[in-house]
Amino acid sequence: MRVTLSWLREFAPGIHGDPVELSETLSALGLTVEDMTLIGDVVDGVVLAKVLDLRPHPAADKIQLVDVDAGDGEARQVCCGAFNMAVGDLIPFAAPGTVMPDGLKIQQRKMRGEVSAGMCCSGAEIGLSDDHEGILVLNDRVVPEAELGMGVAAAIGAEPDVLWDLEVNANRPDAMSVAGVARDLAAALGVDFSFPDYRVADDGSRNDEDADELLTVEILDPTLCGRFAATVLRGVTVGASPQWMADRLELAGMRPVNSIVDISNYVMLELGQPNHTFDLAAIPNGRLRVRRAVPGERLTTLDGLERDLAAGDGVITNESDVIVSLAGVMGGANTEISEQTTDVLLEMAWWDPPTISRTVKRLNLVSEASSRFRRGADWGESIDRSIQRFVQLAAQLGATAVSGFVDAAGNTPDRSPLSVRSAKVNGLLGTELSATEMAGYLSSVGFGAEVVTSDRGAEDLAVTIPTWRWDTETETDVAEEVARLHGYENIARTVPRGELPGGLTDYQVRRRSVRQVLVGCGCDETFPMPFLAPGDLLRAGLEDNGVTLSNPLVAEQSVLRTSLLPGQLKAIAYNQSHRSFDLRFFEIGHVFLPPPTGRLLPDEREHLAVALAGEEAPQAVAALDLLERELGLPNVVLRSASPPGLHATRSAEVLVAGRVAGVVGEVDPLVLDNYGVAGPVAWLELDLGGLLGGPRRSRKYSPVSKYPSSDIDLAFEVSDEVTAAAVEGSLRKAGQALLAGVELFDVYRGEAMPAGTRSLAYRLRFQAHDRTLTDSEVADVRRACIDAATRRDGVCLRGLV
């Protein structure tokens, strides 16, 4: 919402002061100042001048030579980069020595060999408009007494003014108007606020006709329309608006169109009341009806588009039930004001906000009018006042008003007094305001507020909420209003202390540990967005079952990931293409599997991925081992598998406590090709939720033996069918309590080994807790271990290493 100081002062002449301080006051009221511009505050030294001659610059195409007369009759040559003026035009001119608003000091200088003795100015350069293009031509704007050499502000009769661009919250329909902003600001400053008298003097601009005899309005659905007032203007000439109105509309951000449209917009901006004008000639017998649309109905709106209407949309029809307007949103082309229009039917109505909201959203038809109706316009006196104001402005352009207006009523919100407990208000805000103080705040912005004594003897309030505050209806709403006017800054600050201790959950603590372990082994944490392109999952060898987005920004971001793999591969490809190698990445993020049957939301899980570019599967296994230790994972087992997307013979499923918790290995070379990644890439992906939420290994102390240990090395010839884990399992089972440690210290494949086998060499450490083992005890347990290992098919002893 854009407002000017001068416009505000028409409602509250007491508003004045430093613009920056006024901005602070507006922001403290919740009318956040997004931008403030000082306008018409033209610097000294910029004077009215006349263009005497225009000539090409002999040495430059993009500038021309201009002779100007700045009041002394002398022709001063200026080099100018704009070409929009003609000989005889009046323009703003800054002579050498002038300091411009941006701090630039104008100096006489030479440009490409030609003297330039000053500067012709654009509107933006002197703060008179936003226009940076071209020189501001003032021919039509100078006052009669203007003379060349006069300060520009005086020459065009400009008063210094302030333009504010305010952010208005959705609960403040009243502040979508100049008058509403003035009411708030006047209350905060403690100055008077009132509406000017808009009644048209009985001087011939009113005729003898009575609106009641010309118009009939029927509200068929009272839930749609709370009030529908209408009147007629005769003898309307559709033409250009007066300059002052056009200027204000432009400052407010609206483009002047023609006199009727401009008055309509002006009244809406000034008083907050959206309105609509029909060509009376297109409304047979002046009869209008208000109802909801039925499916299949259509209307060509003012913008020329034919719109499909939906059940529930509000419409206005003529007496033959032909739709003439999409209520509160946009008028119909069939009743549009044209240059031939002489008689205008003026509508001032109040529409049900949710209805307008639904229509606006469905048709994506946001307008200044509908955005006011959606927030809840005023159904009270504002409608009467806005009709008066419209008629008054139209009368100034020669239109004649009929007497009065028709006024049909539907359902409007209940505005009987609301009981407000002052203790509840203070209890919510943390204040100690008396009921009288609260009443003072409320009445300063037009609330009715009466102090009443409750049954319990407390001083409470009976509050009548004004009709311009549709969104305000409860005790809490009133408390907010009290807080706003009391000033948020005046509420004493306290800090609550809950009885419960703060802290991270076990899961959160362990997740942080995971990050520290991975960072400690040189991995960088990545954070891709969770969106994928269609086909990304297939290219990663994964099932193409990602949940899709209904309104993606771009197709490349239209699918939700089911695995962290595609995102990591993209990150690796991106870095490799920028000649960064040695990439060790990890990520913790959500993945989204299709919803289980009967569920609405996806099966959402938090995953951990580790991607080591240039490394093979063993490095991923090493990362898993580090996490196993850090997290105390119980019974981590690798089960041979070919998980989707991974290298078929270099990958495994990770089982933790018997449940599949993820995959480990290497990315499928075909997938790497699909993503343009130079491989290999070692890969680990775990379901962190399952992992950290599950059981963990006992942290109970086990005593350290005080007795010497014996180390025995054994090498086995092991078929490729048998895993090292299986061999180790046999050794551990046989060694039982005496086996203090097993280390696979050498793996050998090569010519010395029969095809399809490899050598696995283990160092076994035997030790007891209660004695030194004898040689024969060691020999026995060694034998047992060998027997156990070689009992498996495909395992035989190679001999001592």
Partner 1 sequence: MIETLRRTAVEAKARLAEVEDLDALAELDVEFLGKKSAVTLAKRRLGSLDPGQRRTAGQAVNEIRAEIETAVESARGRLAQAARVLQLEAERLDLTEFRKKARRGSLHLVTQSRDRLEDVFVGMGFTVAEGPEVESAWYNFEALNIPEWHPARGSFDTIFVDLGEPEEVMLRSHTSPVQIRTMEKQKPPIYIVAPGRTFRTDTADATHLPAFNQIEGLVVDRGITMGDLAGTIDEFVRAFFGGDVESRLRPSYFPFTEPSAEFDISRADGTWLELGGCGMVHPNVLRNCGIDPDEWQGFAFGFGIDRLAVMRHELDDIRELVNNDVRFLRQF
Task: Scan residues 133-172 and list those touching partner 1 (CB under 8 A).
Answer: 169-172
97-100: Cβ within 8 A, 24+ apart: 97/45, 98/43, 98/44, 98/45, 98/46, 99/43, 99/45, 100/43, 100/125, 100/126
786-800: burial string, b at 16+ Cβ within 10 Å, e else = bebbbebebbeebee
Query: Could you say whether residue 535 binds partner 1 (CB under 8 A)?
Result: no
Candidate ranges 334-342, 389-397, 587-595, 721-729; the one touching partner 1 (CB under 8 A): 587-595
Q: Are 634 and 700 in contact (CB under 8 A)?
A: no
Q: How many residues of this chain interact with partner 1, rule: CB under 8 A?
A: 89
Pick the closer one to partner 1 by CB: 44 or 489: 489
d(CA 365, CA 731): 76
Residues 32-51 that bind partner 1 (CB under 8 A): 32
Q: Indicate which single residue of 194, 476, 635, 772 sits in contact with partner 1 (rule: CB under 8 A).
A: 476
- Three-class SS state of 775: helix
Q: Match 């419209």 to its residue by tokens.
A: 390
Looking at 54-62, 78-86, 462-470, 590-598, which segment touches partner 1 (CB under 8 A)?
A: 590-598
Please report the beta strands in 344-399, taking only residues with DSSP state E, as ranges in sequence order: 344-351
Q: Tokens for 157, please give them.
A: 């009769």
Q: Which of 526, 619, 651, 730 binds partner 1 (CB under 8 A)?
A: 526
647 binds partner 1 (CB under 8 A): no
Q: Enumerate residues 6+ apart whose C-beta is below 8 A from 89.
A: 50, 51, 135, 137, 138, 139
736 token code pair: 């039982």
- Report 492-511 residues binding partner 1 (CB under 8 A): 492-505, 508
Work out the burial of residue 1: count CB atoms within 10 Å of its CB; fewer than 13 is exposed, 13-18 middle, 19 or more buried.
buried
Q: Is the dihedral of CA 242, 244, 245, 250 positive or negative?
A: positive
By CB under 8 A, is residue 676 in contact with partner 1?
no
Q: How far is the CB of 481 from partner 1 (least distance, A)?
A: 9
Q: How far is the CB of 170 from partner 1 (least distance, A)?
A: 5
702 binds partner 1 (CB under 8 A): no
Binding of partner 1 by 583 (CB under 8 A): yes
Taking contact as CB under 8 A, which single stretch among the options 140-148, 354-362, 409-417, 666-674 is the one that binds partner 1? Answer: 354-362
For residue 594, the minimal CB distance to partner 1 (Å) is 9
Of the candidate residues 59, 519, 555, 725, the single one contacting partner 1 (CB under 8 A) = 519
Least Cα distance to 351 among 376, 331, 316 occurs for 376
Q: What are phi and psi of 51, to 5 degrees?
A: -80, 120
Q: Determine the Cα–Cα distance for residues 524 and 508; give it in Å rounded to an integer.
A: 19
Q: Is the distance from CB of 653 to CB of 638 less than 8 angstroms?
A: yes
Task: Give least dist CB 615 to partner 1, A.
Answer: 14
522 in contact with partner 1 (CB under 8 A): yes
Instruction: Considering only residues 210 through 249, tell me which ones interact with partner 1, judged by CB under 8 A.
Output: none
Q: Determine which residue in the list 520, 535, 618, 693 makes contact with partner 1, applying CB under 8 A.
A: 520
192 forms part of the interface with partner 1 (CB under 8 A)? no
- Closest approach, Cβ 680 to partner 1, in A, equals 18
Identify residues 366-385 at the interface with partner 1 (CB under 8 A): 371, 374-375
* Among 210, 266, 207, CA closest to 234: 207
Q: Which residue has the tokens 């026995």?
A: 780
- Give the tokens for residue 435: 């009921």
Question: Cis bond leading into 680, ω under 30°?
Answer: yes
Contacting partner 1 within 596-625 (CB under 8 A): 600-602, 604
Copy the structure tokens of residue 122.
């654009």
Residue 646 contacts residue 601 (beta carbons within 8 Å): no
**Binding status of residue 529 toward partner 1 by CB under 8 A:** yes
Q: Confirm or reject binding of residue 543 to partner 1 (CB under 8 A).
A: no
* Piece in contact with partner 1 (CB under 8 A), picked from 79-87, 104-112, 240-248, 469-477: 469-477
Question: Closest distance between partner 1 and the C-beta of residue 444, in Å?
Answer: 15
- Closer residue to partner 1 (CB): 392 or 575: 575
Question: How many CB atoms lie under 10 A from the CB of residue 500?
Answer: 6
Q: Tell me if 489 contacts partner 1 by CB under 8 A.
A: yes
Work out how close the CB of 443 gets to partner 1 at its nearest, in angstroms, rounded to a whole number: 19
Which residue in the set 163, 483, 514, 727 belongs to the binding site for partner 1 (CB under 8 A)? 483
Residues 424-453 that bind partner 1 (CB under 8 A): 427-431
By beta-carbon proximity to partner 1, the closer residue of 102 and 489 is 489
User: Is residue 544 at the binding interface for partner 1, with CB under 8 A as the rule?
Assistant: no
Among 6, 25, 403, 557, binds partner 1 (CB under 8 A): 557
